[in-house]
Amino acid sequence: MIQLHEVKNKKELKRFVTFPFTLYKDSKYWVPPIISDEVATLSADKNPAFLNAEARFFLAYKDNNIVGRVAAIVNWTEINEQQVKKMRFGWFDTIDDINVSEALLNKVAEIGNQHKLEYIEGPVGFSNLDKNGALTEGFDHIGTMATWYNHPYYITHFETLGFKTEKEYIESKFAFKNLPVERFMRVNDIILKRFKLKPGSYTKTSEIIPHLDSMFNLFNQTYSKLSTFVPISDPQRDYFKKKFINFINPEYIKFVFDEHDIMVAFAIVLPSFSEALQETKGKLFPFGFLKLLKAKKTSKTALFYLIGVDPHYQNKGVTAVIFNEFHKSFIKFGIETCIRLPELADNLASHQIWKDFDTKIIKRRKTFKKML
């Protein structure tokens, strides 16, 4: 018999966070989160997403053992301001037992009905900057710190329980040596002169911080038309600044400014921490932090996390300026492989950016929807 228990304290929340460590203990592709960071993300007193959202966390037990988990999330900004009557679910993990999945997702549906919402969708987080989507292809590729991993049977469970595909995301990779460098350099010079633009590249974190608010403003502006978009609030900006700043090499953040020093484009790349995170087993101390610091400096794989271009400058070649700057940094750090983190499969504007990179799709993931 499956029993659901709602998480009520920090001790239980830690059990919620660490359940996947048991579920995926034999997987060489699953990448663990940092336990302390994951607990903070799911804590109302730490994560400002809770200022405009609420979440309840449930653990499924069978024979006194944890066999599944789910977060039931209500984003009030999305519901009240955008009029999207969505009940979100995320942090979904389960053993291969359809009864466990059914119990967890029925609880999410129950909460959605209590709030008179129209449908449930997941796996998703609180906002666009959280992880989302269940892996549907690419189970034999190592995960990243920015994505969820799951067993193939998850998809069977969703479909058996009446969920339909809502959105699809793709992840791809390309070899650094395939960057069309000469074209970037040529177009870079033309674009900078034509639009009176200038690139911003940095070597110190302190040089980046003054521009972060402008970057988040541009992020909201750039991504506002996507079907998944929920605006990032000012408190969330501050939270994400603190959360990610230690993981980002300052030379992997690029900005482009106009002649009035207004930001018109940005890009964030992360060094891959996948192997280092597997070695840390979710713990920063005593040696986990050192492993991550080493990966930050020596990883030969770069993850393209976010690219944003002011709508006025889209389709005008501004990304050539960004890639020209990245080429300089990647040469310096010996980057060999580049990975594009999940992008909506129907985001054609984004796909156009990469059309000359000889990319290969390595993973697909989907969110699943069911009407209430």
Peptide bond into 250 cis (omega under 30): no
CA 46, 47, 52, 56 dihedral sign is: negative
DSSP bridge partners of 164: 369
What is the pLDDT, as a whole number, of residue 122?
Answer: 97
What is the pLDDT, as a whole number, of residue 282?
Answer: 93
Q: What is the largest CA-CA distance in the chain?
A: 69
Global pTM reads: 0.92
157/168 Cα distance (integer angstroms) = 17
What is the pLDDT, as a whole number, of residue 245?
Answer: 73
350/354 Cα distance (integer angstroms) = 7
User: Which of 5, 372, 313, 366 has its CA nearest to residue 159?
Assistant: 366
The amino acid present at 312, given as its one-letter code, is H
Q: How would you write the pLDDT of the chain (372 residues) with one tens digit per residue?
A: 899 999 999 999 999 999 999 999 999 999 999 999 999 999 999 999 999 999 999 999 999 999 999 999 999 999 998 899 999 999 999 999 999 999 999 999 999 999 999 999 999 999 877 899 999 999 999 999 999 999 999 999 999 999 999 999 999 999 988 777 777 788 888 999 999 999 998 999 889 989 999 998 998 888 777 666 777 788 887 887 777 777 788 999 999 999 999 999 999 999 999 999 999 999 988 888 899 989 988 999 999 998 999 999 988 989 889 989 999 999 999 999 999 999 888 877 777 777 778 889 999 999 999 999
232/238 Cα distance (integer angstroms) = 10
